[in-house]
Structure formats: structure tokens, C-alpha cells
Amino acid sequence: MEQTKAKFSKLAPVMLCFFVMGFVDLVGIASNFVKADLNLSDSTANFLPSLVFFWFLIFSVPTGMLMNKIGRRKTVLLSLAITAFSLVLPILGDSYPIMLCAFSLLGIGNALMQTSLNPLLSNVVSGDKLASNMTFGQFIKAIASFLAPYIATWGAAQAIPSFGLGWRVLFPIYLIVSLISLLLLGITRIDEEAPDKASSFIGCVRLLGKPFILLSFLGILCHVGIDVGTNTTAPKILMEQLGISLTEAGLATSFYFILRTIGCLSGSFLLRVVKPKPFFLVSVLFLLAAMIGLSVFHDKTMIYACIALIGLGNSNVFSIIFSQALFAEPEKKNEVSGLMIMGLFGGTIFPLLMGFASDSVGQIGAVAVMSIGVVYLLFYALKIRY
């Protein structure tokens, strides 16, 4: 009993960190409200989520080196501190420069957290329970993802006390959670094993010379691009097609994350009995059907059905690509892991291209950009080995 309590006392703060990790997904709904508040173009507004994911390109591998110097727990604590500070800035004002600084810091904090939190979890739970706890951590993360649009839209509608902040009431609420997480992890002692040899940029880049690793890296780029693109664009499609307000359309983002959560949990069970290749192919076909549907349907029910297909189809793509890359180079897991995390940079490329496309031809242009990513994933499905 005492041993169970001791393990829970260490596991609970780590799981709360997964919730804080999910704060990065608030950029989708936030960029839509910033666009409306400041009367921005799609391309300018989409620069905000793009900026968040740009920092994964810069900080993923250096974070591995940092962990070897200061340890995993201290690296997560640093990420929590940066995240908390990023949430303070939008409380002070809503100008575009403030939002740029806030989103940059949010991206840097999340890049550190994404790289260091799962390794820290491995120091809390045993190897045979690690996978299930990682899945549960992703579930906790998803809760923060789909709560953000609800809180923002309720604050905008003054359905909850917002203290004059409107939709920005989201930031002090998440700030409080970040500070609690920082405090709890700060007073928790977690024993860590000796550090591994740090990965390097050179080691990662060299792996791109291996065809399957390059294909996997590009697959991660497309997966994250579709994810962030849907997060950002789903409300815009509803507003354009149905003429509804952002407050109402913003709930589409929460709906997407709910379906993605369901897909993640169901996938964790189905992948025990279904081989990755056919499962991946079916997932990509869901995405393809959704892109076709968003291009031709103008009905609210059908648009939501397409968003649901994206949520289900894209929920397990990252884990399958990541595992396939690790299996391809089992002797270089550190380098492969750093490179795949760097692939989250796709969250920068796709929203920028989608913003320019939608400024030119409407949201059908944004759908077309995401469709390119889907076609690539369909090609990648044929390269999966089993």
C-alpha cells in the first residue's frame, strides 16, 4: 500500500504535466480570435500557430543535450516555467507583438516538454506499464486540447466571469494549472538513471540520407501540418460556408480534439490485434474522404462528419510513423527520436501555406494544401513494411 501511494505521488505530478503539454493546442482557437480582434488576414493570423511549431526545429535536439546536463525533471520544470510566463503575456494585452512573444514562448516551452516528459515518465513507471501510461498521458493532454475552445468561446460570450478579458480568460485559467504543476513537480523527487549520450544535429541530419527515415520525417511533417491545419481552419470553414459567428464555429475545434482523443484510445487497443500497415492505410483513407467531403459539402452536419473523420484518421498516424522509424534504425534511437520530434516543424509550414491559399481562393485553398499532405501519407502507407 505504501509503495503504491509513493508511486502515485510521483505519477500524479507527471500526468498533470501532460495536461500542461496540451496547452499548445490553444493556438488554433486563439489565432481565430486574434484575427477577429485585430482584423487580420488569414496569412497573418496563421503565422501565430506557425510560429509556435517553428521552435521544434530549433530546440528538439538541444533539449536532449540539456537533459544530459541538468536531468529530465529539471528540464520539465524549465519547460513549465517558460510555459507559465508565456501565459502571463496575453493577460497584459492583446496586441499582435504581445501575441507573437507569447506564442513563441509557448512553442519553446512545449518543445522542451515534448522532448523531456516521456523520458521522465519512464523513471516513474516500469517498462511493462510504460506504453499504457504514455497513452493515458496523451489522453490527459487531449483534455486540455478540447477544453481550450470551450473556455475561450464561453469567455467571449461572457457565459463565465472573464474579468474584462473576454476569450483571453483562457490564459489565467491555464496559468494557474501551470503554476500548480510547477509546484507539485518541484517538490517531487524522482530518481533518474545515468544520462545517455546526447544526440547531435549532425547525427540527425545524416539519417535523412536513409530513404525510409527521410520518408518518415516527411510523414511527421504532413501529420502535424494536417493536425494544426484542422485545429486552425475548421472554424473558418464553418464561418465561410454557413455564415455563423466565431463563438459558435469555435466549438468545431473542440469537436475535432474529442474525436482525436477517441481515436487515440481506440487505436491503442486495435493496434494490439491489427498490423500497423492496414490500420495506417484505413486511417489515411479516412483523411482522404474528409478532404473530398470538405471540398464538396456545404452542410453543417456533413462538415462536422468530415472533421470527425480527420480526428479519427489522424489520431494514430504519429505513433505508427514514429515506431516504424525506430524499427528501421534500432541502433540509433536517440537520433531517430530527435529527428522525428523535429518533424513537428510541419505545424509551421502548413498553416503558412494554408493562410496564403485561403487569402487567394477561400478556405477551399486551405483544404487543398492539407490534401497534399494526405496524398503523401497515402504514398507512405505503401512503404510501411508490415
Whole-number pLDDT of residue 106: 94
CA distances from 72 to 65, 101, 117, 177 (A): 10, 26, 7, 20
Residues contacting residue 168 through CB under 8 Å, at least 6 positions apart? 33, 90, 91, 94, 152, 155, 162
What's the predicted TM-score (pTM) here? 0.79
Whole-number pLDDT of residue 311: 94
Residue numbers of the chain with a pLDDT score lower than 50: none
CB 369 within 8 A of CB 353: yes
Whole-number pLDDT of residue 83: 96
Whole-number pLDDT of residue 3: 57
Whole-number pLDDT of residue 199: 57
Can you tell me the distance from the alpha carbon of 219 to that of 377, in angstroms, rounded to the nearest whole number?
6
